[in-house]
Amino acid sequence: QSALTQPPSASGSLGQSVTISCTGTSSDIGAYNYVSWYQQHPGKAPKLIISEVTKRPSGVPDRFSGSRSGNTASLTVSGLQAEDEADYYCASFAGNNNFRFGGGTKLTVL
* Closest to another protein by CB, 24 or 102: 102
* Closest to another protein by CB, 14 or 38: 38
Could you tell me the CA-to-CA distances from 2 to 34, 52, 93, 96, 99 in Å, in that order?
Answer: 17, 21, 13, 15, 11
Closest separation in Å from C-beta 15 to another protein: 29
Interatomic CA distance for residues 110 and 89, integer angstroms: 20
Closest separation in Å from C-beta 10 to another protein: 15
* Closest to another protein by CB, 57 or 79: 57
